[in-house]
Amino acid sequence: MQNTTLEVSTHLAEVYSTVKGAVYQSDSEKCWYVDFAGKMAKFDYRNILKLKKAIYAIDIEEILLNSSKTADVEIVFICACEHCYVLTLLEIISFKELLEGTFVMLSLNQILHDRLYRIAA
Amino acid sequence: MKDIIRVKSLISADVETLLNQQIKKEAQSSSAYLSMASWCDRNGFDNSAEYFFKQAEEERQHQMKFFRYVLDMGGTALSPEITNVKIEYNSFREIFEEALDQEISVTQSIKNIAARCHKEQDYVTVEFLNWFFKEQREEEYKARRALELFDLIGEEGTGRWEIDKHVGKIHYGNEAGE
Ligand SMILES: [Fe+2]
Ligand SMILES: [Fe+2]
């Protein structure tokens, strides 16, 4: 158990985390690991953008105002990606928060790269 | 931590979205011009029909230019869905008024993309857009000139026939003032 934790920590860098989940980046695999809703899912560049688009596109307000008796769950299916999420309204809100934080950190990382290695160097 | 996003794509997600909106706008322009060509042809304005057929082709080329640029930069180009294409127009003049309105809206929309690019220092896309600014100069000029024919010649008598004859001759030199 200790070994796995150690391996994960050296291999993956945490991009952003909340109490509900976390997103890690693997430099060697050029991908992200999304730990959310009880599973760890791997996303490459294309797919993480598709995930972002799918989650951001959910109209949270509309679900809140919707008085019909149907269950408040949303199925998020990402084309050409093996992962699928079945999320409750609260999970959608936390997932959105996690992804928003992640993309802010990724743009910050880009600014850092520009400043430290690309422009100054 | 590596900057994977920048390695994969030169353009930001925001610029990519704006460029995809522009792809759709160019496709809409192409469809609208085709519709105008159809109306002109049905109503006996052969030169104007020809003029709009050519414009429709040009708009398609603009669409493809944007499309390939998005792909070349590592983005995802979206093939747009075009709906609600107008079939009937109230008058010959209305067509040219709409053509000019459309070109103005395209110029403004490209200016908006350039403003966003300047904000994030995406000078690569700005340079790409410069070709379109030059093109819009010509497009607006031609559309404005065509509309002016209505005031110059007048629509009475054989006026519309005369206007149609001149539409085919509208030409813009490469440099302003030529
Ligand atoms: Fe165009
Ligand atoms: Fe045009």
Residue type, A100: E
* CB hemisphere CA count around A117 (13 angstroms): 7
Counting every residue written for chain A, the total comes to 121
Contacts of B12 (CB under 8 A, 6+ apart): B120, B122
How far, in Å, CA of B20 to CA of B26, rounded?
A: 10
Report the pLDDT value the prediction gives residue B28, as an integer from 0 to 100: 97
Nearest Cα residue to B103 out of B40, B29, B176: B29
Chain A and chain B share a number of CB contacts under 8 A equal to 29
List Cα–Cα distances, B150 to B68, B142, B147, B153, in angstroms.
38, 13, 6, 6
Arithmetic mean of pLDDT, B78-98 = 96
Q: For chain A, how many structural domains are there in total?
A: 1
How does pLDDT run across B140-163, given as a tens digit for each residue? 999 999 999 999 999 999 999 999
Going from the Cα of B126 to the center of ligand 1, the distance in angstroms, rounded, reads 16
Residue type, B137: R
Nearest Cα residue to B60 out of B20, B25, B101, B105: B25
Residue A22: domain span: 2-118
For A108, nearest residue in chain B (alpha carbons): B3
B121 touches A at CB < 8 Å: no
For A14, nearest residue in chain B (alpha carbons): B1
How does pLDDT run across B118-133, given as a tens digit for each residue? 999 999 999 999 999 9
Mutate to test the interface with A, among B2, B8, B11, B12 (most CBs of A within 10 A): B2
Closest Cβ opposite residue B8 in set A13, A15, A45: A45
Report the pLDDT value the prediction gives residue A20, as an integer from 0 to 100: 95
List Cα–Cα distances, A96 to A22, A41, A52, B56, B105, in angstroms.
12, 16, 8, 42, 34
First to last CA, chain A: 41
Task: State residue A87 phi and psi, 5-degree precision.
Answer: -120, 145
A109 touches B at CB < 8 Å: yes
- Classify the complex by whether its ipTM is higher than 0.90, answering yes or no: no
Q: Which residues of chain B are within 8 Å of residue A15 when distances are taken between CB atoms?
A: 1
User: Which residues, in sequence order, are bridge partners of residue B12?
Assistant: none
Per-residue confidence at B101, pLDDT binned at 50, 70, 90?
very high
Cβ contact, residue pair B6, A25, below 8 Å: no
Per-residue confidence at B176, pLDDT binned at 50, 70, 90?
low
How does pLDDT run across B45-64, given as a tens digit for each residue? 999 999 999 999 999 999 99
How does pLDDT run across A36-82, given as a tens digit for each residue? 999 999 999 989 999 999 999 999 888 888 877 676 788 888 877 78
pTM of structure: 0.82
How far, in Å, CA of A5 to CA of A106, rounded?
A: 24
Taking the CA of residue B75 and the nearest CA in chain A, the distance in Å comes to 9
Taking the CA of residue B178 and the nearest CA in chain A, the distance in Å comes to 43
User: Which residues, in sequence order, are bridge partners of residue A26?
Assistant: A12, A31
The more confident residue out of B9 and B174 is B9
User: Which residues, in sequence order, are bridge partners of residue A41?
Assistant: A34
Is the pLDDT at B89 greater than 70, yes or no? yes
Fold of B4-167: Ferritin (1.20.1260)
Which ligand sits closest to the CA of B61? Answer: 1
